[in-house]
Amino acid sequence: GQNIDQPTEMTATEGAIVQINCTYQTSGFNGLFWYQQHAGEAPTFLSYNVLDGLEEKGRFSSFLSRSKGYSYLLLKELQMKDSASYLCAVRSFNTGGFKTIFGAGTRLFVKA
């Protein structure tokens, strides 16, 4: 089966840096995604990692270590609008084709 773990909640200060961790177990690993979801809205895509290392995209970066089953999302220069849930998702490929499974999400509160 698949298992994805991430912290339930985090709080950080405006202008600071925050790291949201995600650990996973899966077979047929085919990539790891991070999504952002504001309250009452649909999730939106942030980043994708399939190879080990860091992917940087503006204020957001995502890291992957496949051997450790570990990823993190790094948010720099935090803004109030970054208050949202951040969802770690793992895509796998098996006999049934592609499937994407999500962790329970990390609610990030950014305070002034």
Footprint of other proteins on this chain (CB under 8 A)? 8, 30-31, 33, 35, 41-45, 48, 50, 87, 89, 91, 93, 96-105
Please identify, using beta-carbon distances, which residue of 18 and 89 lies nearer to other proteins: 89
E strands of the chain, at which residues? Answer: 3-5, 9-13, 18-25, 29-37, 44-49, 53-57, 60-65, 70-75, 84-94, 97-102, 106-111
Going from the C-alpha of 52 to that of each of 21, 68, 99, 106, the distances in angstroms are: 15, 10, 21, 22
Query: Considering the complex, what minimum distance in angstroms separates the CB of residue 34 from other proteins?
Result: 10
Smallest distance from the beta carbon of 43 to other proteins, in angstroms? 5
Which is nearer to other proteins, 14 or 41 (by Cβ)? 41
95 or 112: CB nearest other proteins = 95
